[in-house]
Each structure stands twice: as C-alpha cells, then as structure tokens.
Chains A and B, each alone.
Chain A
Amino acid sequence: MIFSENRFPLFGIMLSRVMQGAQPWSVVALPTGLARARVQRHICGAMPSHPAIEVDQLVKVYKTTRAVDGISFAIERGSIIGLLGGNGAGKTTTIAMILGLVMPTSGTAKVLGAEMPRQRYQVLQKMNFESPYVDMPSRLTVRQNLTVFGRLYAVEDLAGRIARIAEQLELTDLLDRPSGKLSAGQKTRVSIAKALINRPEVLLLDEPTASLDPDTADWVRGRLERYRQERGATVLLASHNMAEVERLCERVIIMKQGRIVDDDTPPHLLRRYGRETLEEVFLDVARGRGEAAREAAQ
C-alpha cells in the first residue's frame, strides 16, 4: 500500500481509518490517549511499536496457591486501563510482576518491550508506582523525600521540578514538614508526587485513593487524569473503587481467583451484563453470576 502507516504515518493512519468507515479528521480529534499516542509515535517515528505493557500467559504460584493463573493482556501506549477484582484476585501480584518486584513462575511481563524483571534496568527509569501500602520515610520532610527520589531517577533541574510538582499537587506549604506528620490525604499526594517526579511513561497505581475521603479521592483522580492527558502516559490502575474505574479507564480487566474473567470497555461491560453501574457488573462477577447476567442481557 502506497500510503501505508509506515511510509506516511499520519496520512496512513487517516487513510486506514477512512477505509474502516471513519471521517479522515476524526483520527486527529480522537479523544483517547491511545489514538494520540499512536499519532505521536508515527510522527516521531523513533518509538518502537510494542505495547506499553504486554503480559503473556503470566503465572505466579506461591507454594500451593496460584495467585495469578495464566493471564494475558496488552496495554497500548497512552491508554488508561483498570484492573478490577476482589481481595485475593491477583491484582497486586500482577502489578508486582509488571514492576519486577515478583518473579513470574511462568509466562512473561514486558514493559516498553523489556522483560521484567530480567531487563528491568532498561525501563525502570521510565516508570513509577504509587500505592498506599508502600510508605515514604516518615522522618524525612516532603522536600527531602522528593529530593532523594528525584536524584535516584536523575531528574534534571530537580529543585524546579519539585517546586512545580508541589504546586500542581498543592504541596507547597507542606514541603518542609516531615512526611510522617501529614494526614492520609496529604500522604497520598506526596506519594503521587514521588510517582510523578520522573515524568513516567508508564505509571502503575495500586488503589491510589484507598482510605481517602470522597473529595480528596476525586481531586486525586482529576490530577492523575490530567497528568495522563498532558504526558500521554500509560496508566494501569488496580482498584476496588468502581466509580473511579468507570470515570478514568478506557478499558477494564476484571480478575477473579488469579484469572481474567472479562476485559472490555466500561460501556460494553454495562451493556453486556445489562447493568447500570460497574459495581453491579463487579458483583455479578464476584458472586459467580456473570454468565447468567450476560445471558439475561442478551
């Protein structure tokens, strides 16, 4: 094909979209991060074509427990994907394997094409992680913590970066206070500041709004959404909060007992299960009514 995506990237994408029935300009105006990232990738021409995160037949067995049982999925660059599941579903173990913190029993987890944990040093610079279950040193001030992590990630103009990120996350007045003396909401904002300090291309979030009041949680979601849009970053979000997933995520992967039981966009999930909210879909899956709900909806 003369106007292939490879030879004339932007035109190639538009042409292929037109052939699929879309308006030529729609590719430029596509609201999703996925389309934006694709356009950026083709314009720049330098970025490789592999997905941001690629999980293939991933298994983790702890002694006799299969925490993760042969899951596969891929996440395109610039998209935000939710990982839903109850306690013990395998979300945290999956994220830990993607981060390289846990070694898979079998299968592979790749980030930006690098296999984790074997090739982790190729990509750790470009990713970050936030979780309420991992703390920052409590005796260090917010500024000291951000300085240490900024230096670990070799952030340029670190003082300026800390000032800007503190302003964005409304932490400026807290910079010289010990992290351990902050409220839960303030600590979460500090953790997010740490997670964003290196401007990650891939951001993994494990229940980022757990233990936050609704107002603070909403504010945090807004900040994460804005960062993703501005940076074109890929975000994998593990959460129990259905409203959060529904608001933020383009696609939802539902896990149960270490397996993926569904994987679709929120509107499609609602339609297929015949439900009004993702919470109802989640309850159908968690209580083993998923199949019946889907059949009833059809």
Chain B
Amino acid sequence: MSAHTSSPAALAPHRIAAMVLRYVYLLRSSWPRILELIYWPAVQLFVWGFLQYYITQNSGFFARAGGMFIGAVLLWDILFRGQLGFSVSFLEEMWARNLGNLMISPLRPLEFVCALMIMSLIRLTIGVVPVTLLAIAFFGFNIYGFGIALAAFFVNLILTSWAVGIVVSGVVLRHGMGAESLAWTVMFVLMPLACVYYPVTILPDWLQSVAWALPPTYVFEGMRALIIDKVFRADLMLQALALNALYFTAAVAVFLQLLKSARRSGSLLQSGE
C-alpha cells in the first residue's frame, strides 16, 4: 500500500487529495476568502481597461494594438495570483499553527508542494476566470481568442509562479512569519524586469540581459507579438519553458534544503514570528 512506502520520493495521491480537501474545506467555510480572490483582479482589469480605452482614442499605434494592456494585466494576474494562491495556502498552515501536525504525519514535502500547486490552480480559476469574462463583457477583449498561445502563456507563467511560491514558502518555513510579507511583495520585483506593459527594448542594455533571464519576459513579449504582429512566437515559449524547468527544479531543491535547515534550527517547532 502506498501509505506504507518508505521512500521519501514516493508520492501518494490520497495524501495530496487530503491536503487539497483541507484547503477546499477552508475556502468553502469563508466567503470573504472567495470574494478576495476575485476583487483585486477585477479592480486591476477596470483600471487598465479604461486606461487602454482612453489611449486607443488618442493614439494610432494603440488603436491598432487593441487589448495589449488588458491582455498584459490578465497574464500578469496569472503570474501573480498563481504565486499568491500557492503561498497563501501554505501560510494558512502557519496561521493555523498546524504545520507541526502535518510534519509529523506521513505527508511528504513533495506531496505538500503538489497540493499547494493544485490549490494555486483552483484559486486562480476562481479569481481570474470571472475577470476574463468581465473583460469580454466590458472591453470586448477575449483572451480565449489567443487559442493555443494562451495555453503556452499559461503553462510558462504558472510554472514561474510556482517556482517563486515554493521558494517563498521555504523561506517562511525556515525563518518564520517574519518573512510572511515576501508572499505579497516578491513578485513585484519581477514586474518591471519582466516587461509586462512595455517591450524589452525599452530597458537599458545591461538590464535587458537580466530581463531575458526571466521566463515571464518571453511570455509578455510573445503576447505583444501575437497582438501587434499577429504572430505566435513558439521559439520564445520554448526558451521560457527551458528556463522554467531550470528554475522549478532549483526551487524544489532550495525548498528541501530550507526544510532541512528548519529541522536543524528547530523552527518547525515554533512556526511563529
């Protein structure tokens, strides 16, 4: 039976499902938590949507590139909300002081990570899908019109968001709730560098090489190529995927190291500030 396997690498679907169930119970018990998932993406959409509406009336270029800002804000939300969905689910265990119970259960760290990734998808679906429908209704922008490109954008953005979420969770695990604010702020470091609303060529030369080290940069460049030039840049998506594979693997390794360090320092016992 899988429950009795001793290999740390063995993943048991029933334990992953148990953790997902735990977070679903939590979401179901609290309507403000669900409202919070939709509220901020909707506010962002309306701010950028109306800005885009204003600019397209006054600029020929933006009139031709309709939906660029709205597309950018929706894709940014996949990146940001994906990471937040991962990290907040993890933080729920810290807030509930439940981490000790989990760490002495047969739950493996990688099963925990898998459950957090699934919850990131669930929270993202709850938060972003309604907003994409609002974008169609209010601004006539249909992100699903991207077709297969949207799938490529999504996979790359969600992988980056999980990599960041995994590292943030590891840091909180090791250093306690003092590092909690990282969950909300760390992604904004990427925002100017990933060139969400402008092309990479706007950046100074030395910063461009930093930008190209980030997978989301390829996605946002790819989105602009699709909207402005009507071209799907598969090459950019493949490069982003390669970088994501690298970063995701590194993030898991860092998480496991931080967990080991937490066992050494005794911080799993405290789970507080």
Bound CA–CA A67/B2 (angstroms): 36
What is the minimal beta-carbon distance from B102 to any residue of chain A, in angstroms? 8
What is the minimal beta-carbon distance from A185 to any residue of chain B, in angstroms? 18
- Which B residues are CB-close (under 8 A) to A131? 100
Bound CA–CA A152/B263 (angstroms): 21
Instruction: Give per-residue flags for A138-167: 1 if the beta carbon is below 8 A from chain B beta carbons, else 0.
Output: 111100100111011110000000000000
Partner-binding segment picked from A40-48, A117-125, A227-235, A252-260: A117-125
What is the minimal beta-carbon distance from A76 to any residue of chain B, in angstroms? 22
Bound CA–CA A283/B217 (angstroms): 66
- Which B residues are CB-close (under 8 A) to A121? 5-8, 106, 108
B8's closest neighbor in chain A, by CB?
Answer: A121
Instruction: Give per-residue flags for B20-32: 1 if the beta carbon is below 8 A from chain A beta carbons, else 0.
Output: 0110011001100
Q: With A121-B6, A152-B105, A154-B3 given, is the CB distance from A101 to B97 under 8 Å? A: no
The answer to whether B101 and A134 touch across the interface, beta carbons within 8 angstroms, is: yes
- Which B residues are CB-close (under 8 A) to A154? 1-3, 12, 14-15, 106
How many A residues have CB within 8 A of the partner chain? Answer: 40
What is the minimal beta-carbon distance from A168 to any residue of chain B, in angstroms? 20
A99 sits at the interface (CB 8 A) = yes
A71 sits at the interface (CB 8 A) = no
The answer to whether A147 and B98 touch across the interface, beta carbons within 8 angstroms, is: no
Partner-binding segment picked from B36-44, B249-257, B264-272: B264-272
- Which A residues are CB-close (under 8 A) to B148? none
B189 sits at the interface (CB 8 A) = no
| Among A96, A122, A153, contact of B269 (Cβ-Cβ < 8 Å) | A96
A128 sits at the interface (CB 8 A) = yes
How many B residues have CB within 8 A of the partner chain? Answer: 40
The answer to whether A194 and B101 touch across the interface, beta carbons within 8 angstroms, is: yes
| Among A102, A144, A153, contact of B3 (Cβ-Cβ < 8 Å) | A153
B19 sits at the interface (CB 8 A) = yes
The answer to whether B14 and A151 touch across the interface, beta carbons within 8 angstroms, is: yes
The answer to whether B3 and A101 touch across the interface, beta carbons within 8 angstroms, is: no
B18 sits at the interface (CB 8 A) = yes
B104 sits at the interface (CB 8 A) = yes
The answer to whether A137 and B15 touch across the interface, beta carbons within 8 angstroms, is: no
Bound CA–CA A134/B97 (angstroms): 6
Bound CA–CA A152/B101 (angstroms): 11
What is the minimal beta-carbon distance from B184 to any residue of chain A, in angstroms? 21
What is the minimal beta-carbon distance from A205 to any residue of chain B, in angstroms? 12
B103's closest neighbor in chain A, by CB?
Answer: A101
The answer to whether A129 and B268 touch across the interface, beta carbons within 8 angstroms, is: no
A79 sits at the interface (CB 8 A) = no
What is the minimal beta-carbon distance from B107 to any residue of chain A, in angstroms? 6
Bound CA–CA A101/B21 (angstroms): 24
B18's closest neighbor in chain A, by CB?
Answer: A151
Q: With A124-B104, A153-B105 given, is the CB distance from A136 to B98 under 8 Å? A: yes
What is the minimal beta-carbon distance from A274 to any residue of chain B, in angstroms? 37
A62 sits at the interface (CB 8 A) = yes
B260's closest neighbor in chain A, by CB?
Answer: A103
The answer to whether B105 and A102 touch across the interface, beta carbons within 8 angstroms, is: no
A82 sits at the interface (CB 8 A) = no
Could you pull out 23 A-B pairs where Cβ atoms are within 8 angstroms?
Answer: A93-B269, A99-B104, A101-B103, A101-B104, A102-B268, A103-B260, A117-B263, A121-B5, A121-B108, A128-B104, A134-B98, A134-B100, A135-B97, A137-B22, A137-B92, A137-B96, A139-B29, A148-B19, A148-B25, A149-B105, A151-B18, A153-B105, A154-B1
Per CB-CB distance, the 8 closest pairs between chain A and chain B, nearest first, are A151-B18, A154-B3, A134-B100, A135-B97, A103-B263, A137-B96, A148-B22, A122-B6
Contact surface of A with B, Cβ cutoff 8 Å: 60, 62, 67, 92-93, 96, 99-103, 117, 119, 121-122, 124-125, 127-129, 131, 133-141, 144, 147-149, 151-154, 178, 194
